[in-house]
Amino acid sequence: KWHESAVKWASQGARGGSATSYHPFWSWEIEKILTLKSNKSTPENSVKKLDYGIGFNKLFFERARADEKITLFSAEESRGLIDNLYNYELWEKTYLELEKKRGIRKKKISARKLLKSFATERFETGRYYPIFLDNINEGPLKDSIKMSNLCLSGDTIINTDMGKMTLEECIEHKDDLRVLSYNIESKENEYKEITAKAMTNPSAKVMRITQDGRSIKCTEYHKIWTTNRGYVLAKDLVETDELLIDE
C-alpha cells in the first residue's frame, strides 16, 4: 500500500501513477505478492496500481519440472542472492548454502504450485511478467538489464552523430554511436552514448503516433516525452498532448 501511494503523484491526466515492482521467486512474500492483483481480492488486500515482475531461473524450472520444493528466504538474510542475481553459478552456490544453513528464517513450498499460481494470475490479470534471470543478459548489450525494457519499431529513424539511421541499423552498427536526445533538465538537445541496444520481441504489438505529419511506431508501454505532461505511456496519450518534435 505504501508503494501504491508513492506512485500516485505521477498522475497522467485522468490516469493515476503506476509502477512495476520486481521480486525473485525465492522472496519470503512471493505467495502473497501473487494475490495482490487477483480479481478475487478485496480493496483491503490488493494493490491495483502496481504491476509485478517475477524473476525465475534454471533451478526454479528444474524443481518445478521434477515437482520438488523451493526455499523462500527473508530479504535481510539472503542478500547474497541479490548480489549474485545475474551470475548463475555464484547465485546457485549461495542458494544451496542458504538452504542448508540453520538459524535463518526460511520455508519450503512447491515450485510447481508456485508456477501454476503465477501462470493463473498472468492469464487472468495480464499484469504479472516473467523475468528469466539466467539469459536476460545474454546478447550484445553493454550494460546489464535489471528491469523491463520498452521498445521502438526497428524502422524508426534515429538521428545519430554519424547521420540518420534506422533503429535496426543502430543495433547492428559495430562502432559506438551517439544519438540525439533531449535533456529534460537543461531543455536542450544533446548527443548521448548508447549504453544498451538489442532486438527484443520481433512480433510485439506496436502502435503509430502521429503529430504534424511526423510519426513514430512503438510498443504501447513506451514512454513518450510531452511538453505539457512530461513522460506519458504511448497508450495513454491524448489529442491535447504536445510531443517534442525535432526540427
pTM of the model: 0.59
Beta strands in 11-78 (DSSP E): 19-24, 50-56, 69-73
Full domain range(s) for residue 63: 2-132
User: What's residue 140's pLDDT?
Assistant: 53
- 3-class DSSP string for 136-188: CCCCCCCCCCCCCCCCECCCCEEEEECEEEEHHHHHHCCCCCEEEEEECCCCE
User: What's residue 233's pLDDT?
Assistant: 77
User: What's residue 180's pLDDT?
Assistant: 84
On whether residue 54 sits in a domain, the answer given is: yes
Query: Are 9 and 120 found together in one domain?
Result: yes
The total number of structural domains in the chain stands at 2
Query: Are 37 and 122 found together in one domain?
Result: yes
> Measured in whole angstroms, how far is the alpha carbon of residue 113 from the centre of its chain?
24
On whether residue 217 sits in a domain, the answer given is: yes
- Residue located via cell numbers 552523430: 161
User: What's residue 203's pLDDT?
Assistant: 61
On whether residue 201 sits in a domain, the answer given is: yes
CATH of the domain at 169: 2.170.16.10
Please report, in tens digits, the pLDDT of each residue of the chain (247 residues total): 555 565 555 554 555 556 778 899 999 999 999 988 877 776 666 666 678 889 999 999 999 999 999 999 998 888 899 888 878 899 999 999 999 999 999 999 999 999 999 999 988 888 888 888 887 766 555 555 655 545 677 777 888 888 888 888 887 776 778 888 877 778 788 888 876 665 555 566 778 888 888 888 887 767 788 888 887 878 888 888 888 776 5
On whether residue 45 sits in a domain, the answer given is: yes
User: What's the CA gap between 233 and 230, in Å, rounded?
Assistant: 10
User: What's residue 149's pLDDT?
Assistant: 47
On whether residue 152 sits in a domain, the answer given is: no
